[in-house]
Amino acid sequence: MAAAQALYAEKPTDTTANRTTWVEVIKIAAASFTANKQYVIIASGYMETPSGTNEVRMRLVHGATPTEFTDVSTAWEEGANNQKTVCGFLVLFTQPGTTEDVILQISNSSTSNTVCHLGQIFALKLSDDFTENTDWLFNEVLTDYTTTVNLSDTSSTEAASVTFTPNGTDDWLIMGDFVLTPAAINSNYKGSLFDSVEGLDQPLIDIEGEDTTNENRRHLLARVFTPSNAAHTFQLRFSHEAVAHTIKSSRIFAINLNKFAQHAFAYAAAEEAPAATPSWTTTRTLSPTPTTTGNWFILGAFGADVGTLSDDLATRLQVNPSGGGLASNPDYGDDAPETNNAWDATDVIPFDIFTLISMTLDAARDINLDVQMITGTALRVENRCLVAFSVALAVTDHPLNLEPG
C-alpha cells in the first residue's frame, strides 16, 4: 500500500540556551526531504525559564545559513519564575532544488536559562499524493490586524480562512496558527477556530499579555470533526478584553483524513476536571486496529482553563503500538510536560503534543491523551482533541466542491 512521506524529529531531553544567540533544539535534516516538493510542517517546543523578567525565545528556520519562516521568531515573558509554556508552529514550505534542514531553535533575551524540555517537528509531503483545494487547503495572511472587542467574522485580508463544501461524511483536521503582539499587560486576548455553519468558536483560547515591548506570542489550535455537506468557511477570529492587540499574521490548514487508509479521532468541547497527582485522567482515547504495519501520526490538543496562577497540569501521550502495553510517547517521562504558565487567573491556554510511531497490524492499539492535576483544584481541560492517522494512503479519493472565488 502506498504511503505519504512523513518526517519526524523529536528531542525529549533538555536543551538549554543562556544567551541571545540561537541554539539548536532539533532538526529534520535536508537529506530527508525531497527537492522541489511542498510540505506542511508542524513544530512545537515546551519551554521553561527560571526568570520572570527575561524573554524566552523560539523560532523555526530552514537552510544552512538559517532563514526564518515568516513571523516565527517568538518571544515571551513568563508570569513568574519557573513557569512553562508550549509554543506551536504551522507553516507551508516548498523545498528548493537543493533541499534544506528545518530546525527548531531557542535563545534568551539575556543570560537566564531558556530550557526546551521537548522539541518536535513533523513534516508531511503534500506534493504528488494530495491535491490542493481538494484534499487539503491552506491560507496565510501576513498583514497586521487589530483585534476588536467582540469575536467577529474577518475578511480574507484580515485573518486566515478557507472555504469549501465537504461531502458530509469525511472527517477533516483543521489547524490554525497566529502570531500576536500584546498591547497591554492586563488585557486578555482571545483567538479561535470558527466554523460558519456551526457558528461555534472551537477551540477558543483566552490569554493575558505580559510585556508590551518585546513579546511575539505564537499559538497553535487544532480540531477534528465531520463537517456537513454545506459551504463551510473556517477562519481564525480574534478579540480583546480591554485594549486592542495586533495580530501580525495567521494561517489555517485543513486536510481530509479520509485520504489516508485509516484514521480515528475523539473530540469533546466540554470541560473536564483532571485527577490529582499521582493519578491520571484519560481525557481522550482511541483504539484503532491497523490493517498494515506502518507509521501513524498522533496529535493531542486541548485548552487548559486555569483556576489560579499557580495551577499546574501534566500531560502525556500513551501509546500501545505493538501489543506490549501503554508507554509515554514522546518518551519524556510522566513528570512533564506541565502547563504551569498562566499570566492571569482567567486564562485558557492551548497545549499540543504529537508523535509519529510505527504500529503493528491485527489488533486494537490503544492511544490515550492523559492529564494530571499537580497543583490546584479548579483547573479544567476543554476542547479536548485526539487524532491518529496512518500515513498509508487510501485507495479511493473523496472529491469536494469548491466555492467560487
DSSP string, 220-234: EEEEEE---SS-EEE
pTM over 0.85, yes/no: yes
| 32 SS3 class | helix
pLDDT reported for residue 404: 37
Single-letter amino acid, residue 166: P
Work out whether strand 15-17 and strand 114-125 pair parallel, antiparallel, or are unpaired: antiparallel
Query: Beta partners for 236?
Result: 193
Query: Beta partners for 180?
Result: 217, 247
Lowest mean pLDDT among 35-44, 196-205, 327-336: 327-336
Over pLDDT 70: what percentage of the chain?
91
Compute the Cα dihedral for 236, 351, 68, 4 and give only its sign: negative
Q: Can you say whether residue 142 is alpha, beta or left, with left for phi > 0 and alpha for psi between -120 and 50 degrees?
A: alpha
CA pair distance 125, 167, nearest whole angstrom: 24
Over pLDDT 90: what percentage of the chain?
64
Average pLDDT, the chain: 89
Q: Which of 231, 298, 212 is nearest to 260 (CA)?
A: 298
Predicted confidence (pLDDT) per residue in 339-393, tens digit: 556 677 778 889 999 999 999 998 999 999 999 998 888 889 999 999 999 999 9
Compute the Cα dihedral for 191, 193, 197, 199 and give only its sign: negative
pLDDT reported for residue 201: 94
CA pair distance 310, 341, nearest whole angstrom: 8
Predicted confidence (pLDDT) per residue in 101-128, tens digit: 999 999 988 888 888 999 999 999 999 9
What would the grid cell of residue 232 be?
Answer: 463551510
Lowest mean pLDDT among 46-50, 119-123, 238-242, 290-294: 46-50
Across residues 282-311, what is the average pLDDT? 92
Confidence of residue 49 (pLDDT cuts 50, 70, 90): confident
Lowest mean pLDDT among 48-62, 246-260, 360-374: 48-62
Confidence of residue 306 (pLDDT cuts 50, 70, 90): confident
